[in-house]
Amino acid sequence: MGELGTWLRAQLDAVETETRNLLAEAQRVSLTLKEPRLLGREIPGWHSWRDVEQVCVDRLAELAVMRRVVDEHDPTDPCDAHDASLRTVPCDTVLLVALAFARRPGYQERWRLP
């Protein structure tokens, strides 16, 4: 998979770090909000942090699945996909994983599925 595999692993690492940082912040805020001196106070958005925690946990699970797909295709690709010129190309499954990170720098339009 070469370049795509390297780029995908970098995106997975970066997004996992971002997600873990946000999860830690959500957990920190949730703990702070449980302090007795805050009980009964009106704190806008207090209930959102539990949702943020859950979204982060779900995202980490999705990233683990994506990483497993990449691991199963790189360095050896069992799908053995080729283009019309018989050059090895990433299979559609890997291209779909990459599509999840298309907004990030380095994504190449040639990886986009038609």
Chain residues in the site for Zn ion (CB under 5 A)? 79, 91, 93
Residue closer to Zn ion by CB (options 18, 72) is: 72
Give the whole-angstrom CA distance, residue 74 versus residue 70.
6
- The nearer residue to Zn ion, 23 or 73, going by C-beta atoms, is 73
CA angle 15, 18, 19 (to 5 degrees): 85
Closer residue to Zn ion (CB): 26 or 90: 90
- In the complex, the smallest distance separating the C-beta of residue 90 from Zn ion, rounded to whole angstroms, is 8
Is 12 within 8 Å of 70 (Cβ atoms)? yes
User: At closest approach, how far in Å is the CB of 12 from Zn ion?
Assistant: 16
Do 95 and 111 form a contact (C-beta atoms < 8 A)?
A: yes
Taking the complex as a whole, the smallest distance from the CB of residue 73 to Zn ion amounts, in Å, to 5
